[in-house]
Structure 1
Amino acid sequence: MVFLSWNRPSPQEQKACIEKSGAFNYDSKYRGTTAKQLSSLQEDGELSKDGFLSNHARILVGSGLETYEKGKSALQSWRHFGFNWTFVDPKTPIQSGEKFCVCVKEFFPWLMMPLQMVYVNENRNTKNAVASFSFGSGTLQGHLLAGEERFAIELDENNRVWYEIFSFSKPAHFLSLIGYPYVLAKQKYFAHQSANAVRKHLSS
């Protein structure tokens, strides 16, 4: 099952995709895994044993609490997906359990790939002025990949603001299986473009 559209997917098409998508397409034991510390996951090695590959990018995007709050707003309004080749409906609420589509233009057709938010986390320590906001989404049936992805914005103890993407995935369809090297390259390209989009929002 693959969800395609020859034109930019309408809200109605995205809704139909979500309604037909079904449940998560990856093992429940990995649900919420992207919320864990990256170092502990690397030490554990269970993801790689089950055939998952990880993608991680952490980019410095500015400094100060105001920049952090603006970065948080960027994630909440899906500015990190604001491209002509991929988007998420910016009205999609950031809340656990919410289903949505990532729409991606691949050559001629558009792909609609259904996901569901697994968690939303926000932490703030007023004592040392550290704060973070993140959310993780898992793939549903009908997605070309199986796995989970986290987006985060963080204000560290040195007043620096970081934008972070972490995901693990493996092919869930023969199309992604035969084109997986391309998929991995596209993930890295997205991380670069997404960081630029966040920076652009912060400087506006």
Structure 2
Amino acid sequence: MFPPIYLSLLKFDSKQQRLICDAGLEKGFNYNSSYQGLTKTNSKPPGFWDQGHIRVKVGKGRETFEAGKSLLKKWGQFQLGWAEVDSGTPVQVESPVCVVAKTLFFWTANPLKVMWKNQSLPVCSWVLAWSLISRGGALLT
């Protein structure tokens, strides 16, 4: 059976996004659970995975790190006009996340889940990272 596809001519509102995430919770993950956490441990992913590691230097120093961290905690990387995540969505492990995006004439909604979070401040670098995983019913666009 195919997972549901969430399409709308209008952008999904917050209530609809919560309902879509709830439906995603009921469906579970759409991949083999033995792969859960692979990106956290830097284990070699299966050959069919396309794992992105994009790094961009946006500045240096603690002030820049704190500004970037603040933006990421509000899902700023998704606030693009044609795609977004509700900025009130917490970045917490097991937290549901709904990414809405406009593709041609339709808005899509993708229920996801935060799988892990790492916020560390080692001597040489600062790190803020987390991983999202598709929920049942996710249409990855």
Q: TM-score, normalised to structure 2's length?
A: 0.89
Runs of 4+ in 1 over 3 A off after TM superposition: none
Cα-to-partner distance string for 1:70-120 (whole Å, 9 max, x where unaligned) = 111111011111111000000000100111211010001100000011111
- Label 1:55 to 1:131 Cα distance change in 2 as closer, same or farther (>3 A): closer
1:59 equivalent in structure 2 = 56
CA contact (8 A) 2:101 2:108 kept: yes
Gaps of 5+ in 2: none
> Structure 1 or 2: larger strand share?
1
Identity %: 31
1:131 equivalent in structure 2 = 126
In 1, the alpha carbon distance for the partners of 2:9 and 2:82 equals 13
2:137 counterpart of 1:142: yes
Cα-to-partner distance string for 1:155-199 (whole Å, 9 max, x where unaligned) = xxxxxxxxxxxxxxxxxxxxxxxxxxxx5xxxxxxxxxxxxxxxx
2:105 equivalent in structure 1 = 108
Letter in 2 for 1:16: L
1:84 equivalent in structure 2 = 81
Letter in 2 for 1:76: K
> Structure 1 or 2: larger helix share?
1
Coordinate RMSD, CA, aligned = 1.5
CA contact (8 A) 2:109 2:139 kept: no
In 2, the alpha carbon distance for the partners of 1:101 and 1:76 equals 15
- Label 1:65 to 1:47 Cα distance change in 2 as closer, same or farther (>3 A): same
In 2, the alpha carbon distance for the partners of 1:13 and 1:93 equals 17
| Greater RCO structure (CA 8 Å; 6+ sep) | 2
Q: TM-score, normalised to structure 1's length?
A: 0.63
Shift of 1:129: 4.5
In 1, the alpha carbon distance for the partners of 2:117 and 2:50 equals 23
1:19 equivalent in structure 2 = 22
